[in-house]
Amino acid sequence: MLFVIVGLGNPGEKYRRSRHNMGFWVVDILAARYGISLAPMHSKSLGGRGIVGSKPVYLLQPQTFMNLSGEAVAPLVSESGISLEHLAVVHDDLDLEFGRIQIRMGGGDGGHRGVRSVIEHLDSRDFVRLRLGIGRPAQADTSETEPKDFVLSEFNPDELQGAKELANKAADAMESWLTQGLVSTMNRFNRRKSLKSKQETPQKSSGQWDQG
């Protein structure tokens, strides 16, 4: 029974440390934990297959830009013949406070272009999403910082350790999903607990925060 974990991000050194590449971070952590090598694949991705928590898993990092992520995900899903309930997409989320994660099945794209592209190319919303909270700019900076600029920026020194903890917690959640199932993982990881940082501010849903 094959599973696929996709981490969303933008390819290239320029974006490697950006908030928008948190999905890539999580895949890198899982690959390191389980000795899975990521190599170029014909479906516009870096990917590798291995065993995570006794389950056969494909780890995937689309090498399209974010808003074309579905072009990399859909071919692998089609070729592998997996059920969409065995597909998890890991991505950053502005509307979730910094340090919090949330896992669920289905739902909309929340304005995230990478998720939107995956939905469009699969013609379905029925896959697992793991959202990683990156929060929003501090209130004083909101008028000067566009969402697109914020997600493409790097974590500041005060946030970096928290960001690493967030990525490792997300990797733990993916291991739990594979070994314990979705409901148990939701109960364990969807608690309202965030990491302290200087960017914390009351969160408001923006509806749409389109980005590249």
CATH of the domain at 72: 3.40.50.1470
Which residue type, as a one-letter code, is found at position 164? K
113 close to 211: Cβ distance less than 8 angstroms: yes
Phi-psi category of residue 207: left, alpha or beta, with phi > 0 → left and psi -120 to 50 → alpha: left
- CA dist 142 and 150 (Å) reads 10
Is residue 199 one of the residues assigned to a domain? no
Is residue 147 one of the residues assigned to a domain? yes
Is residue 210 one of the residues assigned to a domain? no
Per-residue pLDDT of the chain (212 residues; tens, 9 = 90+): 899 999 999 999 999 999 999 999 999 999 999 999 999 998 899 999 999 988 999 999 999 999 999 999 999 999 999 999 999 999 999 999 999 999 999 999 999 999 999 999 999 999 999 999 998 877 545 455 678 889 999 998 989 999 999 999 999 999 999 999 999 999 999 986 655 544 443 333 333 334 44
Is residue 45 one of the residues assigned to a domain? yes
With a threshold of 0.85, does the pTM exceed it?
yes
Domains in the chain, number: 1
Residue 5: φ, ψ to 5°: -115, 120
* Residue numbers annotated as active site: 20
- CA dist 106 and 126 (Å) reads 5
pLDDT of residue 204: 36
Is residue 68 one of the residues assigned to a domain? yes
CA atoms within 13 A on the CB side of 151: 26
pLDDT of residue 144: 53
pLDDT of residue 212: 44
130 close to 101: Cβ distance less than 8 angstroms: yes
Is residue 111 one of the residues assigned to a domain? yes
- CA dist 118 and 114 (Å) reads 6
pLDDT of residue 145: 62
Is residue 195 one of the residues assigned to a domain? no
Is residue 167 one of the residues assigned to a domain? yes
The range of the structural domain enclosing residue 171 comes to 3-189
pLDDT of residue 139: 54
pLDDT of residue 126: 97
